[in-house]
Chain A
Amino acid sequence: MAHRIVGKPIGRLDGIEKVSGEARYSGDVTLPGLVWGKALRSPLPHARILRIDTSKAKAFAGVLAVLTARDLPNILVGRRMFDMPLLARERVRFIGERVAVVAALDPDIAEEALALIDVEYEDLPAVFDPVEAIKDGAPILHENPGAYDGAPPERPHPNVQSVLRFKLGDVEAGFRAADRVFEHTFRTQLDHQGYLEPHAGVVGIDEDGRVQVWASNKMPFRLKELLSQALQLPPAQIRVNLTPIGGDFGGKGSVMDLPLAYHLARATGRPVKMVMRYTEELMAGNPRHPAVITLRTGVSKDGRIVARRVKALFNSGAYAAFKPAPSVNLGGAGMGAGVYRIPQLLIESFCVYSNNIPCGHARSPGEPQMVFAGESHMDMIARELSLDPAEFRRRNLLRDGDLLANGHHLEHVRASETLEAALKASHWSEPKPGPWIGRGAAMTHRHIGVGFTNARVRLESDGTVTLLIALPDTGTGAHLVLRQVVAEVLGLPLDEVEIEIATTDDFTTDSGVGGSRVTHTGGRAAYHAAEKLKEQIQAEAAKLGEPASALSAIAQAAAREGRTLEASHFYDAKAHGAVTSFTAQVAEVAVDPATGQVTVRHFTTAHDVGTIINPIGHQGQIEGGLIQGLGFALMEELKTEDGQISTLSLGDFKLPTIQDIPPLTTVLLEDAVGPGPFNAKAIGEGSISAVAPAIANAVADACGVRILDLPITAEKVYFALRAKVEPLVPPVQERQS
């Protein structure tokens, strides 16, 4: 069906404040008397705190307050499992854990004061590698994790935070029936989300004693709940004010420094701003979990997968606090099944405590790790079976009615169409342009997110319409999408629909941004609210004998009777539907045999999408996610040595630059059935996960070298190439835990 506004390539009208520098992010918020908070962090991965002397810091000119755990209530915080103290109490468990906090007149004074705090530690034995952490006799991080609020019951080892299982059929029977069985183990690195806005927040207590919060947080209502728990205040006493967020990618959903800012505000009687330095982000943010993943797959003679067992160890670091899922695990573990029909399946995912930085959610949590392992494994099996990797995939792709690992059954499956589209666009079957050049394919799929959103639309007296929404702007362009939806429904030009950003006072709840949810839940909430308003308008028009298009006349007539035409809708999508979005990607790489350097010559990405509401924003999500996937594949790594991260600036932890992006071909298979407004699907997390395996498979195709651990550095490829001809070579750089 043809739309007026939906599907039109409309630029970022919502961004005038952003291009003009007027947009106020949390770190830009200022209030009268505002002071700065800074945290002192542990230099040791595991130690007992014997003594903290803050007297010198307190005496430093310009310092207003210095707090340690002693000055705070003994509260544990988290997003789902509550195991992290506000400030370290008696014991630190990772390098970068907060042990004290200072409020001062400016950030430099606050940082100077930190150096004046004396802390005496006593080392404790530490453990860093997840495999070591769950052995008998490993140092224990938390004496009784089962006692923490939100802790899942199953705990095979005290250093296990959570276990997540996906089971179909009888996997052992499956292996017995298999003609051949293949097993490979993969490792992925610690990686930061890379948003350029470090965590920032301002907390003030207003004259009514209400706690006013401005924070780089994408879930304002959940934040309000979490703060109410952390601060022991009734929710009504907290107001979260929405600000634009300078990049999220999964990382901006916790309370982070806000409780400390609150206690400093209490101690100083002033509003307090806390902004992490980027070094602190890299040392103590909540980065993507590193993983050790073993896949064991049984196949039949004719190249069909009959059974698969997957074991994933996610190195979660010192606390589980940053994981929001009820499982306190990573849903991405389910992608151990890939995009394939696997009758007998067992996936077990363990999140493990260690004396490292606590990890959290990052764009499609757990999936880039699992898809790298799974799609590399698929190519390695295809090679063993002397099958074209594309053909091996074809024979095993999901079809209508098949089950996902989580038991959901699928409809409208377009896995094979998506694969064929990517193969065609990438000239898969054509000869390669030269030696040391290879092609690799990889696939994944991503659910369309669920959750709940409130929307309210109001007819203004000038005939324009305002959409009130409490979804923060993380940059995806969702606000523009929602305006397009409302304008489409009401038959208005786009510039007659405005967005008004709500606070947590305006609605009762909202699941916020994340999980490829907003176009679906926000879009449907806005759609239905607009439909309701449309009915009111038509009724009013009939009463007045005016055409329904005479909006200002209708609004003014209602106003004269003291009424405002307004409609709200609460949309709540509980369970995932039977539809997901498939992705197929092909990388063409060149390997320099003398250096091992990998150059991506061309990248093809194909997506099974629904109705595209804003093509520019949609393509932006694909491109942004894809380049994050490229960084994950080739260069990004938070290097740790015994819990100490050594890449503590963007000079050492490298993100892709504008000179590092490959030529790109995008293929969109539109007009699928989607649960969003106008049949929309989701795209935000569709392009990141298959990039690394596509590149790894292309490297193997180009030079016969299989890299099992990310990132695929030139050095790893170089020494692996050398190892093929010479048995004795220096080891590839020591693996990071």
Chain B
Amino acid sequence: MGGGAARALTFTQECVIPVERERLWDFLMELPRVARCVPGVETIEVVDASAYRGSLKFQVGPIRLALQGTVTVEERDRNAWRARMRAEANDRRLGGGIRARMSLTLAPGEGGTRLQIETDLAVLGKIGEFGQPVIKKKADTLLAEFARNLQSALAA
């Protein structure tokens, strides 16, 4: 059993960012900046202190998703160095969408801070009718790329 939307498998990305935990935390808590590290993100705007609205383009071969939706920061726990956020986005033209719950944890690591991103992704509606496993795989690679971009953004 599981709560809410139909779940996909959970992906986990791990990477070490060569900066101290505080700096990484502060960076991550500024979502618009983080969003620029997400491949395909086109716009991101602040709704309120914990909610953001944005759009993302994402392609699986012939299928092009233009997702519009919101990201909500559900938890900011600087003592536990953990943040949880929830993304909901739909593609109007295709009639479908995605739901993602992400949890970011920061831990001391070799020469920097170990960032762990756990993502729980659901693919809904029409999009879900097309090879679920393929889209999961795609999302996985997208998150890996995000982690790499984050690294370089902070290294700079």
Contacts and interface: CB of A to CB of B under 8 A. Distances in A.
A338 to B, nearest CB: 32
A642 interface: yes
Contacts of B95: 114-115
Interface stretch (B20-28, B46-54, B125-133, B145-153): B125-133
Contact-residue size bin, chain A (C-beta under 8 Å from the other chain) = 20 to 34
B124 interface: yes
A670 interface: no
Contact of B5 (A45, A139, A646): A45
A553 interface: no
Interface string A168-205: 00000000000000000000000000000000000000
Given A43-B125, A115-B92, A125 B7 contact: no
A95 interface: yes
B4 A123 contact: yes
A133 B1 CA distance: 8
A612 B4 CA distance: 54
Contact of A115 (B4, B93, B124, B128): B93
A45 B124 CA distance: 10
Interface string B1-41: 11111111000000000000000000000000000000000
B124 A646 contact: no
Interface in A263-321: 279
Nearest to B133: A646
Given A43-B125, A644-B6, A128 B1 contact: yes
Which of B1, B124, B129 has the most chain A CB atoms closer than 10 A to its own CB? Answer: B1
Given A44-B124, A115-B92, A279 B129 contact: yes
Nearest to B126: A115
Contacts of A116: 92
Interface residues of B, number: 21
Given A45-B6, A115-B94, A641-B6, A132 B1 contact: yes
A643 interface: yes
Contacts of B7: 641-642
Interface in A627-643: 641-643
B1 A129 contact: yes
Nearest to A95: B6
Contacts of A76: none
Nearest to A279: B129
A45 B122 CA distance: 12
Contacts of B6: 44-45, 95, 641-644
A129 to B, nearest CB: 6
Contacts of A129: 1
A646 to B, nearest CB: 5
B96 interface: yes
B4 to A, nearest CB: 4
Interface string A117-128: 000000111111
Given A123-B3, A126-B1, A128-B1, A43 B129 contact: no
Interface in A31-56: 43-47
Interface string A632-669: 00000000011110101000000000000000000000
B3 A43 contact: no
A648 B8 CA distance: 16
B143 to A, nearest CB: 20
A138 interface: yes
Contacts of B96: 43
A139 B1 CA distance: 10
Contacts of A47: 4-5
Given A126-B1, A641-B8, A642-B7, 9 more contacts: A43-B97, A44-B4, A47-B5, A115-B94, A124-B4, A138-B1, A139-B1, A641-B6, A648-B129
Interface of A: 43-47, 95, 114-116, 123-129, 132-133, 138-139, 279, 641-644, 646, 648
The 7 closest A-B pairs by CB, nearest first: A123-B4, A644-B6, A115-B95, A43-B124, A43-B125, A132-B1, A642-B6
9 contacts: A43-B97, A45-B5, A95-B6, A116-B92, A125-B4, A126-B4, A138-B1, A642-B6, A644-B6
